[in-house]
Amino acid sequence: MKKWIYSAAVVLTLSLAACSNEESYSPQEILNQAMQETSELDSYYGEYKMIMDDGTKILSKQWEKNGKTRVEMVDSTGEESIAVNDGKTVSSYSKTTNEAIIFELGPDVENSVRPTLKEQALRTLEQIKNSHDITIGEEEKIAGHETYHLIAKAKKKNTLIGDMEVWVDKKTWMTLKTISANGDMKLTSEFTKFEPNSKIDDSKFTLDIPEDADVKYESYQPIEQLTEEEAVEKLGTFLIFPESLGYTLEGIEDMGMAETGEIALTYSKNGEQQFSLSIFKPMESIGEDEEIIEVRGQKGSKIDLETFKLLQWDEEGLRYNIIIENLDLTFEEILELTEQMEYIK
């Protein structure tokens, strides 16, 4: 659970958004502004702290300029680390262990790197827009900047993103503080210094690694696409959704998991992705924490969150996981589709 809270709050804390003239806004208008792109915040330097309710504390410094980033972090144990993304490589170095990893990006950088913090923030804001009731709280200064204060209450329990409070800079629309709570876990993340449009030398995005450090090099490896014959050779015969159901199989990916042999199938309809089906040899039984249901006469489970829906079951020695990406699809519809699955021929 802590991972969900930490991820959501970090995303919002580092979000970048649109610039506008200061005036009176409704909660929805502030949220809409914070979800837009900005051309006026080309760079920034910030210092911020993240505090978990269990006492865990992380202090960070971040420089961002034209898509390049540098982050220096110190946690409660005193461990120090530095990470730099210069657009061609992502390098990280731990001062505590004197170890470094240099990851070379692929030729298509956009497809070989995780979504940026900014892109993740936009997605999170979009989710809150639909899943939370949002009101305006008392305004205050954060890191010397006047902010709008949004209070977002989840409409349903057990959502991926719980209740949140968000403070947004009135001039740059940068999120400067968040308080995120989910269940009995809470994370506060706050900028203590924020300098928009800072002059940052390009040398800041070079990571100096000591000569005696243990350095590992990794390179981008595209996910291997399998033919149906290769997939059967890897896992044995397995269930798929026949084309007669109206969904198109876009491809079969080898997930590179030697122990489980996992493959992932992507299904679309009318050019839009609908759901993905992963199939693998299970290493453990289906957990009892999820809602237990029956799928194709087998024991299965489902996870039904506001922005994440998963259906899984075991059959003939294989586990099937369906992640519903078109959230308009209901579990009932997916369950009906599973009844019409056929073994690949």
Residue numbers in the chain where pLDDT is lower than 70: 1-40, 106-127, 129-130, 158-160, 220-222, 287-289, 306-307
Helix H or strand E segment including 128: helix 117-131
What is the rounded CA–CA span in Å between residue 188 and residue 178? 6
Q: 33 and 18 in contact (C-beta within 8 Å)?
A: yes
| Cα separation values, 238 from 185, 222, 246, 280, Å | 40, 24, 19, 10
Backbone angles phi, psi at 8, to 5 degrees: -65, -45
Q: Where in the chain is the domain with CATH 3.30.200.100?
A: 224-343
Burial class (CB in 10 A: 0-12, 13-18, 19+), 110: exposed
Report whether 36 contacts 174 (CB < 8 A). Answer: no
Task: Tell me how far apart the alpha carbons of residues 104 and 147 are, in angstroms, rounded to a whole number.
Answer: 39
Number of neighbouring beta carbons within 10 Å of residue 60: 21
- Integer Cα distance of 294 and 5 in angstroms: 30
Residues 6 or more apart from 17 whose CB is under 8 A from it?
Answer: 33, 34, 35, 36, 37, 38, 121, 122, 125, 168, 172, 173, 174, 175
Contact 207, 89 (CB under 8 A): no
CA distance 194 to 335: 49
What would be the CATH architecture of the domain defined by 2-219? Clam (2.50)
What confidence score (pLDDT) does residue 300 get?
93
Q: How far apart are CA 108 and CA 112, in angstroms?
A: 6
Q: Where exactly does CATH 2.50.20.10 map onto the chain?
A: 2-219
Q: What is the pTM of this model?
A: 0.61
Question: In angstroms, rounded to a whole number, what is the distance separating the alpha carbons of residues 113 and 17?
Answer: 21
The secondary structure of residue 199, as a DSSP letter, is -
Does residue 33 contact residue 125 with C-beta atoms inside 8 Å?
Answer: no
pLDDT of residue 308: 78
> In a 10 Å sphere around its CB, with 0-12 CB exposed, 13-18 middle and 19+ buried, how is residue 176 labelled?
buried
Q: Classify 332 as helix, strand or coil.
A: helix
Of 108, 60, 109, 67, the C-alpha closest to 86 is 67
Q: What gap in Å lies between CA 37 and CA 18, rounded to an integer? A: 5
Question: Which pLDDT score is estimated for 289?
Answer: 60
Are the C-beta atoms of 300 and 294 separated by less than 8 Å? yes
Q: Are 20 and 33 in contact (CB under 8 A)?
A: yes
Are 175 and 13 a contacting pair, CB within 8 Å? yes
Superfamily of domain 224-343: MucB/RseB, C-terminal domain (3.30.200.100)
> Is residue 248 within 8 Å of 268, Cβ to Cβ?
yes
- On the CB side of 248, CA atoms within 13 Å amount to 7
Q: What residues have CB less than 8 Å from 317, skipping those under 6 apart?
A: 236, 281
Which spans in 218-259 are helix H?
228-235
Q: Which amino acid is at 251?
A: G
For residues 340 and 222, give the distance between their C-alpha atoms in angstroms, rounded to a whole number.
32
